[in-house]
Amino acid sequence: MTTFQETFNNLIASLSDKNEELSPEALSQLAEALSDIAPVQLKPLLEAWENIPLPRRYSLLVHLQSELDKELLYNYEAFARTLLHDEDDIIRTFSLRLLKDYEGEDLLPTYIDMAMNDIHIDARSEAISLLGIYIYYGELEEISEENLKKIEETILQIALSAEKTKLRQIAIEALGFSSRKEVPALLEKAWQEETALWKASAVFAMGRSYDERWQEEILEGLLHENELVRLAATKAAGDLALALARPILLNNLKEEKDEDVLRASIWSLSEIGGEDVREYLLMLLDQLEDEDEQEAYIEEALANLDFTEDVQNLNLLGFD
């Protein structure tokens, strides 16, 4: 009977052999094998890693990211940890993406260092985004106050003084979760910028704040000419369950041309609920013909609408 390690070694050999085609089946088997793998079992892959052709390493990491997005039970923490200090910029970036669901505090010093000092802007961007998630954990009191303060000070410094505009924008998005007194002024300043990317970052952060003070900016963003601003505002309206956004989002179901904004409108409506939402989503579902992916998405939104309406009904009955 073939053991796990024998099977894993054979997969590594296939990955390393540039004369052998790297099939989707092999990638899927590797993805399954690497999920929840014990660090000691990783040794053969780590020993072979530098000799694996770089495009194949990229292919593996792209596939792992795809699997992680689809399969909630997969966990690549052990493997991703080993790549955080890889010499290749793209590999470091993917290692951070594979750690997006990890909640431990032990990697925070590494994330902070990468956010401040990594030579590659994409790796820095991913580290900043990860730290934003930890700000959310901090607001829920799930990490130490000391670590939360370190993270917020780091992100504030980047938002105020990073040499690259993209890094400052991502820092603003990360600060959306923060209740620090400095944050509202930063979001307002970002919103007042003329460029669409700044406005998109600002309104995205406003949605993360769960603060209805920003409803005017979000409603304005829903009607913006730029699709990135509309997309961020649409998601923010759903995050805040902003009832005033409902008529605009319902109209967007008929008129929106951008596919991403349209899908976001469907989901945000399922989070807002209320008059006509179910009717419009069912009408959309009836209009689809042999579009399985779209049908599945709308059906998922309808299920989320059921949950939203249940919560709203409980609130009407006076339950906490």
Return the pLDDT at 289. 65
Q: Maximum Cα–Cα distance for the chain, whole Å? A: 67
3-state secondary structure 36-79: CCCHHHHHHHHHHHHHCCHHHHHHHHHHHHHHHHHCCCCCCHHH
Closest CA to 160 of 127, 182, 138: 182
Query: Measured between alpha carbons, how far is 66 from 85 in angstroms, rounded to an integer?
Result: 22
Quick: pLDDT tens for 195-226.
999 999 999 999 999 998 999 999 999 999 99
Our CA angle for 120, 136, 86, nearest 5°, is 25
Place of tokens 């952060």: 205
> Rounded mean pLDDT of 274-294?
82
* Confidence class for position 317, pLDDT limits 50, 70, 90: low
Query: Measured between alpha carbons, how far is 94 from 63 in angstroms, rounded to an integer?
Result: 11
Return the pLDDT at 304. 92
CATH class given for the domain over 200-320: mainly alpha
31: tokens are: 């993805």
Judged by average pLDDT, the poorest of 89-98, 127-136, 311-320 is 311-320
Please check the confidence at residue 2 and state whether its pLDDT lies above 70: no
> Rounded mean pLDDT of 105-127?
97
Q: Is the CB of residue 309 less than 8 Å from the CB of residue 302?
A: no
Question: Residue 84: helix, strand or coil by DSSP?
Answer: coil
Query: Measured between alpha carbons, how far is 209 from 136 in angstroms, rounded to an integer?
Result: 10
Helix residue ranges, H only, the chain: 4-16, 24-34, 43-48, 54-70, 77-83, 89-97, 108-117, 121-139, 145-161, 165-175, 183-192, 196-208, 215-222, 227-239, 246-255, 259-272, 277-287, 292-316
Return the pLDDT at 24. 87
Return the pLDDT at 228. 97
6: tokens are: 């024998």
Residue 15 vs residue 113, higher pLDDT: 113
Ramachandran angles phi, psi of 72, nearest 5°? -65, -20
Give domain limits for the chain. Answer: 200-320
Quick: pLDDT tens for 290-315.
666 788 889 999 999 999 888 877 76
Quick: pLDDT tens for 221-247.
999 999 999 999 999 999 999 999 999
Q: How many CB atoms lie within 10 A of CB 179?
A: 13
> Rounded mean pLDDT of 162-189?
96
Quick: pLDDT tens for 31-73.
999 999 999 999 999 999 999 999 999 999 999 999 998 888 8
Residue type, 204: F
Return the pLDDT at 17. 83
Q: How many CB atoms lie within 10 A of CB 116?
A: 15
CA distances from 1 to 4, 26, 101, 106, 307 (A): 10, 20, 35, 39, 47
* Confidence class for position 95, pLDDT limits 50, 70, 90: very high
> Rounded mean pLDDT of 281-292?
79
> Rounded mean pLDDT of 270-280?
91
